[in-house]
Structure 1
């Protein structure tokens, strides 16, 4: 299983991967855990929903400032979110991560907590100057 984890504009390289998998007709399961500030700041929201018909894609939005009626994940992507949405053993998946440094550090700590070796995750950090 591929686990894609994006924060904010870190979704951009993940979209490239998702589009490529869809264009190739890849049927391996993909889980996207996408952290955003609020519903309106989710980039590619409509395209991601459409991709669910072309891929075995599970889409999990995690909002740090959700609306009052939000029933999805709240806060930040962490080990508890992994436990709720990924099947164990956690070390059997490949993790692709892109986001700001604070998020990246948190995700790497969560993966370590779940016993995922560093060889199973691949990351791209970005920062705004």
Structure 2
């Protein structure tokens, strides 16, 4: 479980003593490649939306999956990157390409910057990308923008699987 401190209840979670009893609801939905066959996978994550993507990659690495994976991971700053070391380790066990998109890069950053949009995706999608399965998780505005970009790129809608953050 990954929890980002946002100033609401989430900011106090770190103060809960180990052993405290808690009720968790879920998971809900079916956000897994197991139900969606394809020649490869494109994973798009924003912020802590990397959490289910890391789980997918761990599972596929443990299974010895040889299909190609593209992970497009958007963060505000490199310091906010979650699971960076683990993702790098998983890249040695999978056919995994990682594209990190930094909204506010430090001077000297030579990678992608700004936001995930159609042009950025088009630069990195594999040949015959319409055949891939797509998993997208992050803040609602990012997910909507990525869905729109995929539609403009003629990615079949039934190949795009999304999860949005909902705060209650």
Fold match by TM threshold 0.5: yes
Match among 18, 25, 37 for residue 76 of structure 2: 37
1:92-120, Cα deviation, whole Å (9 max, x unpaired)? 11100001100011000000110112101
Larger radius of gyration: 2
Cα root mean square deviation, aligned: 1.0
Match of 1:70 in 2: 109
TM-score of the aligned structures, taking structure 1 as reference length: 0.96
> Which of structures 1 and 2 has the larger relative contact order (alpha carbons within 8 angstroms, sep 6+)?
1
Secondary structure of the residue aligned to 1:97 is strand
Match of 2:164 in 1: 125
Q: Which runs of structure 2 are paired with 1:1-129 in the superposition (5 Å)?
A: 1-129=40-168
Divergent runs of 4+, >3 A: none
| In 2: Cα distance, 1:24 partner to 1:106 partner | 32
- More strand per residue: 1
| In 2: Cα distance, 1:56 partner to 1:88 partner | 15
On the 8 A contact 1:90/1:115 being kept in 2, the answer is no
Q: Structure 1 unaligned segments of length 5 or more: list them.
A: none
1:36-95, Cα deviation, whole Å (9 max, x unpaired)? 001000000011111111000101000000111000000111111111111233311110
Secondary structure of the residue aligned to 2:54 is helix
